[in-house]
A and B are shown apart, each in its own frame.
Chain A
Amino acid sequence: MTAYLLHLAVLSGIFIILAISLNLIIGYAGQVSLGHAAFFGIGGYTSALVSLHFGFPFSLAALSALVVTGGCGLALGLPTLRLKEDYLAIVTLGFGVIVDLIFLNLEITGGPDGLVNISPPRILGVTFRPRGLYIVLVALVVLMILALTYSLVRSYHGRALRAIRDHETTAQVMGINTPAYKIMIFTLAAAMAGLAGSLYAHYITFINPESFGLHTSILLLAMVVLGGMGSIAGSIVGAVILTVLPEMLRQFKDYQDLLYGGLLVGLLILRPQGLMGRGKLSLKFIMRKE
């Protein structure tokens, strides 16, 4: 039982990182990424591949995941973030499909079987085994991410981002370089998702394309909208609820996607601020009238 609770806690931690990173894109840059699971996957595969083939220790593998996914985010953001928000949604969705195809078709990624025997992390002589200390490692990373995100959103840069989200033209008039900011936050969010992928790969120790498809991207979106767009605390709540709830409702597995879809539409109409969106970071402007 304890092992099962620990397992849920680790998964929740990983999804908290993913939800926060997606929320930075949605709630702060005012964009939608529908391929966020692809960054999660690229991070996982990169980390697994460098540790399997080059024997990289976990810290270096995680760093590689961070750099590679950040690079992918930058490459994807550069052509699209100068345009309207719809384009990023479609391009990231297409990106997700392409990445999924790459995982499935390449030999080095192991095709549909994926990669196995990924070693658990070993840092300073301590091995973080899946059923043991792993939760400590995840908790540390989550705390780091939280500290980084809070200091970012409360800084000058965070205010600039919110200004862009609320009214892009006004933000430009105030001298904010809007495309640069959007690209910066998108790259950062991609890198964070990559880190989560690395944590996931070394925790589960085997990965296949199934974990990183469109289904996961939609799940992440549902977490962010449920918790409240633009609310970091909300992302934590949303991630925990949608990680734990499906586990408790295993017998209704077939209805999961129906629930996520209905949840997205219903919440936006009835409670667009999400569960936690009332606070200081609420996205009340998102519902402003024309």
Chain B
Amino acid sequence: MFFQQLLNGLTTGAAYALIALGYTMIYGILGLINFAQGEIYMAGAFVAVLLLATGQVNFFVAFGLGMGAAAVVGVVLERVAFRPLRGSHPLVPLISAIGASIFLQSLALLLFGPNDRPFPIQFDFTTITVAGLPLSTLQGAILAAALGFMLLLVVFVRYTRYGKAIVACALDRDTARLMGINVDRMVALTFFIGSALSGAAGIMMAIYYNATYPRMGLLPGLKAFSAAILGGVGNIPGAILGGLLLGVAESLGAAYLSSGFKDATAFAILILVLLIRPQGILRGRGD
């Protein structure tokens, strides 16, 4: 029972962590909370589900295209809703992001209708026993894929030219520009990567819950933001740690405390973190 709840928590936590990475990277480079991150997650899931429903594409192509579509939504969003407002009072892009989030959500509602869509293809997942403990292969696959994406991101940011350029922009945008880095392009790249990761999380959760619907991004988006704060906003390993911790806390809370208030756990943790340690577990740039 405990192990099962732990595993459930890690699985949803992995999705929170992927979305939180998007929040944290964008916050790191622009100081902006992209409220529409949850809608990008939803967009990724929808594109993959619609592609698979046609029966013409295989799973991996649909997964890749879903991530790509989410990335494009993110980049377009940055271009339309955030770039024209750069340099204004921090309140202005924040409200713009909220507007964009509502816009995308209601657009999805108009295009796809309010009902849940099941995932179009069936996988034959089973439960295997690892070291005497039951493990669902579905959860195993989601965890492995999520950890793979995180590892790729960390390697990209630490060891590649473009990754280092993003870090430079996050540290000091003006100096980065003086060093010949095209800051606008790096911001767009950040949105591209962060959104692709959120899209991947959306597709995984569409499989996990077997449901895709227009408002699916609302709560995961909010919880992932709490996760980013918990880990230390602007800090990449922090976002991963925060996401996994939050998923586990939520799952254990629902199992042992109260299931009706499951969705409240994340916000209770958020408020506690802000009271006790606003910079997060691993020091971020939040305060």
User: Does chain A bind chain B?
Assistant: yes
A residues lining the B interface (CB < 8 Å): 26, 30-32, 34, 79-80, 83-87, 89-91, 93-95, 97-98, 101, 105, 214, 218, 221, 225, 229, 254-258, 260-265, 268-269, 272, 285-290
Stretch at the interface among B86-94, B176-184, B188-196: B86-94
Interchain CB contact under 8 A, A262 and B99: yes
B61 contacts the other chain (Cβ, under 8 Å)?
no
Which chain B residue shows the least CB distance to A259? B106
In the assembled complex, how far is the CB of residue A86 from the closest CB belonging to chain B, in whole angstroms?
A: 5
Q: Given B91, B106, B226, which contacts A30 in the complex, CB threshold below 8 Å?
A: B91
Interchain CB contact under 8 A, B271 and A91: yes
B residues lining the A interface (CB < 8 Å): 33, 35, 80-81, 84-85, 87-92, 94-96, 98-107, 109-110, 218-219, 222, 225-226, 229, 260-261, 263-264, 266-268, 270-271, 274-275, 278, 286-287
In the assembled complex, how far is the CB of residue A250 from the closest CB belonging to chain B, in whole angstroms?
A: 17
6 contacts between A and B (CB under 8 A): A83-B286, A90-B270, A97-B219, A98-B264, A262-B103, A268-B92
Q: Given B89, B96, B270, B286, which contacts A288 in the complex, CB threshold below 8 Å?
A: B89
Residues of B within 8 A of A285 (CB): 89
Interchain CB contact under 8 A, B87 and A289: yes
The docked-state distance in angstroms from the alpha carbon of A261 to that of B96 is 8
Interchain CB contact under 8 A, A79 and B90: no
Interchain CB contact under 8 A, A258 and B110: yes
Interchain CB contact under 8 A, A105 and B261: yes
Q: Given B87, B94, B268, B286, which contacts A32 in the complex, CB threshold below 8 Å?
A: B94
Interchain CB contact under 8 A, B260 and A261: no
| Number of residue pairs spanning A and B whose beta carbons lie under 8 angstroms apart | 140
Q: Given A80, A95, A265, A286, which contacts B91 in the complex, CB threshold below 8 Å?
A: A286
- Which among A79, A86, A272 has the greatest number of chain B C-beta atoms within 10 A? A86
Q: Given B92, B94, B95, B218, which contacts A287 in the complex, CB threshold below 8 Å?
A: B92
Interchain CB contact under 8 A, B33 and A86: yes
Residues of A within 8 A of B226 (CB): 90, 94
Tell whether A98 pairs with B95 under 8 Å between CB atoms, given A218-B102, A286-B89: no
Residues of B within 8 A of A260 (CB): 99, 102
Q: Given A31, A83, A91, A268, which contacts B99 in the complex, CB threshold below 8 Å?
A: A268
Which chain B residue shows the least CB distance to A82? B278
Interchain CB contact under 8 A, B90 and A86: yes
What 10 new A-B contacts, CB under 8 Å, besides A94-B266, A258-B106, A288-B88?
A83-B286, A90-B222, A94-B267, A94-B271, A105-B260, A257-B103, A261-B105, A264-B98, A265-B96, A269-B84
In the assembled complex, how far is the CB of residue B283 from the closest CB belonging to chain A, in whole angstroms?
A: 15
Residues of A within 8 A of B33 (CB): 86, 89-90
Interchain CB contact under 8 A, A97 and B267: yes
Q: Given B89, B103, B287, which contacts A84 in the complex, CB threshold below 8 Å?
A: B287
The docked-state distance in angstroms from the alpha carbon of A96 to that of B45 is 26
Residues of A within 8 A of B100 (CB): 261, 264-265
Interchain CB contact under 8 A, A98 and B105: no
The docked-state distance in angstroms from the alpha carbon of A95 to that of B271 is 10
Interchain CB contact under 8 A, B287 and A101: no
Tell whether A101 pairs with B264 under 8 Å between CB atoms, given A32-B94, A85-B90, A286-B88: yes
Interchain CB contact under 8 A, B98 and A91: no
Interchain CB contact under 8 A, A261 and B85: no
Tell whether A254 pairs with B94 under 8 Å between CB atoms, given A79-B271, A264-B102, A272-B88: no
Q: Given A97, A256, A286, which contacts B92 in the complex, CB threshold below 8 Å?
A: A286
Interchain CB contact under 8 A, B263 and A264: no
Interchain CB contact under 8 A, A263 and B91: no
Residues of B within 8 A of A94 (CB): 222, 226, 266-267, 270-271
Interchain CB contact under 8 A, A97 and B222: yes
Which chain B residue shows the least CB distance to A263? B99
Which chain A residue shows the least CB distance to B269? A94
Interchain CB contact under 8 A, B88 and A287: yes
Interchain CB contact under 8 A, B260 and A258: no
Q: Given A34, A80, A261, which contacts B274 in the complex, CB threshold below 8 Å?
A: A80
In the assembled complex, how far is the CB of residue B28 from the closest CB belonging to chain A, in whole angstroms?
A: 13
The docked-state distance in angstroms from the alpha carbon of A286 to that of B105 is 27
The docked-state distance in angstroms from the alpha carbon of A287 to that of B86 is 10
The docked-state distance in angstroms from the alpha carbon of A214 to that of B80 is 24
Residues of B within 8 A of A91 (CB): 267, 270-271, 274
The docked-state distance in angstroms from the alpha carbon of A262 to that of B100 is 7
The docked-state distance in angstroms from the alpha carbon of A103 to that of B13 is 27
In the assembled complex, how far is the CB of residue B135 from the closest CB belonging to chain A, in whole angstroms?
A: 32
Residues of B within 8 A of A221 (CB): 95, 98
In the assembled complex, how far is the CB of residue A216 from the closest CB belonging to chain B, in whole angstroms?
A: 12
Interchain CB contact under 8 A, B87 and A290: yes
